[in-house]
Amino acid sequence: MFKRALLLGFVSGALAGVASLIYAKVYHDSLGADFSKIATTAGIMITSTAGGLLAAVGYWLLNKWLKGKGEIVFNFVFTILTFVSILGPFAAKLPLDVEAPELFPGLTVPMHFFPALAWFTLKPLFIRQQP
Amino acid sequence: MKRVIFSFATLLAIAAVFAFTAAAQGWQIKTNYNVQFSNPGVSGIFKTLKGDIAFDEKNLGASKFDMNIEVASINTGNGLQNKHAKGSDWFEADKFPLIKFTSSRITKNGNNYLATGTLEMHGQKKEIGIPFTFAQKGNEGTFAGAFTVNRNDFKIGKPGGDVDDMVKIELSVPVTKK
């Protein structure tokens, strides 16, 4: 169970990172806003993968402690934490030489949803629901 | 002969008048200037500074600063803060788009100078003194100064709160001779 959860966390986190990089490229091409010095490729991949792995540990712990209710509690906690995390980009203070800081949340807020989205999409492939 | 002497005397008099009322050297502001503000609650820069500078260390009487800062160019590093700063609670950038400083006299104090003049912000005018230094190297130079203003004197924001009343402003303005 733990290994499968960890694998799911790693794969969904990495895919969320790739989706974030694609989104960053589209954002940059369409709006011209360049935040590549702040949201670096390595930073996006590491944060997304770490988020996925952390979710895996949380999923395993909650299922261990709460047995049958672990799944639903995990889903709620993961979704709530994802929403709360969007406060970060709004509160971020960027270096003063970065142009148009008001466009920064538009880049990073959607990225915060990608790990949860990838997790919920891929989960049936890694962990089968108990009948 | 009398006519020649009279002409010379007239030319001399005109030259003397021009020598005493000669305008100070004009300076062009380079693009890598820095206008920074800070206090424990907020800090940032103004990205757009324009103005006319006439400054001659040997002719301070004819020296003058006439500077404008675009309020809308404020950058605190945070988009929400920028919007808030330009809004009705603080600078009201739509109504008062410029911060202006016009010097009335410049005096020397040791190696430093003091530009006394009127600072206009948010529609409020106040006489202030800005201490500054000037480092010249050939046809280029840099004005550097720092001073503190009380934002309540200019009715910017409400007194108290998260942002301290006293705001430190630091300027570094590289220039070239016109």
With a cut of 80, say whether residue B162 has pLDDT above it: yes
A117 near A83, Cβ under 8 Å? Answer: no
Strand partners, B144: B133, B172
Contact A94 B77 (CB under 8 A): yes
pLDDT band at B163 (very low <50, low <70, confident <90, very high): confident
Q: Sign of torsion, CA B34 B71 B124 B155?
A: negative
Cβ–Cβ below 8 Å for B79 and A93? no
Does position B2 have pLDDT exceeding 70, yes or no? no
Task: Output the pLDDT for position B5.
Answer: 64
* Domain layout of chain A by residue ranges: 2-125
- Provide the pLDDT for residue A128: 77
Backbone angles phi, psi at A120, to 5 degrees: -65, -30
pLDDT in tens, B118-156: 999 999 999 999 999 999 999 999 999 999 999 999 999
Pair of tokens at residue B120: 């206009």
User: What is the Cβ-side half-sphere exposure of residue A50, based on CA atoms within 13 angstroms?
Assistant: 6
Q: Which of A35, A97, A102 is the best residue to mutate to test the B interface, defined by the most B CB atoms within 10 Å of its own CB?
A: A102
Q: Which residues of chain A have pLDDT under 50?
A: none
What is the band of B109 on the pLDDT scale with cuts at 50, 70, 90? confident
Backbone angles phi, psi at B85, to 5 degrees: -65, -35
pLDDT in tens, A32-68: 888 999 999 999 999 999 999 999 999 999 999 998 8
Chain B residue numbers touching A96 (CB-CB < 8 A):
44-45, 75, 77
Specify the amino acid at residue B65: F
**A91: closest chain B residue by CA:** B78
Contact B66, B51 (CB under 8 A): yes
Give A25 to chain B, closest Cα distance, Å. 21
Distances in Å between the Cα of B101 and the Cα atoms of A106, B52, B63, B104, B127 are: 37, 11, 14, 10, 9
Domains of chain B and any CATH numbers? 24-177 (2.40.128.110)
Q: What is the pLDDT of residues B46-75, one digit of tens each?
A: 999 999 999 999 899 999 999 999 999 999
Q: What b/e readout covers B27-42, taking b as 16+ CB neighbours within 10 angstroms?
A: bebeeebebebeeeeb
Contacts of B44 in chain A (CB under 8 A): 96
Chain B contact present for A38, CB below 8 A: no
The answer, yes or no, to whether residue B6 has pLDDT greater than 70, is no
* Res A31: pLDDT: 92
Report ipTM (2 d.p.): 0.79
Nearest residue, CB atoms, B79 vs list A95, A96, A101:
A101
Q: The tokens 């733990």 sit on which residue?
A: A2
Over chain B, what is the mean pLDDT? 89
* pLDDT at residue A1 in the model: 80
Closest CB to B77 among A95, A103, A105: A95
Q: Which of A89, A95, A90, A100 is nearest to A34 (CA)?
A: A100
* A:88-117 residues touching chain B, CB 8 A cutoff: 90-96, 98, 100-105
Query: Which secondary structure element, helix H or strand E, spans residue A120, and what is its range?
Result: helix A104-126
Inter-chain CB proximity A102 and B45 less than 8 Å: no
The interaxial angle of helices A104-126 and A41-66, nearest 10 deg, is 50
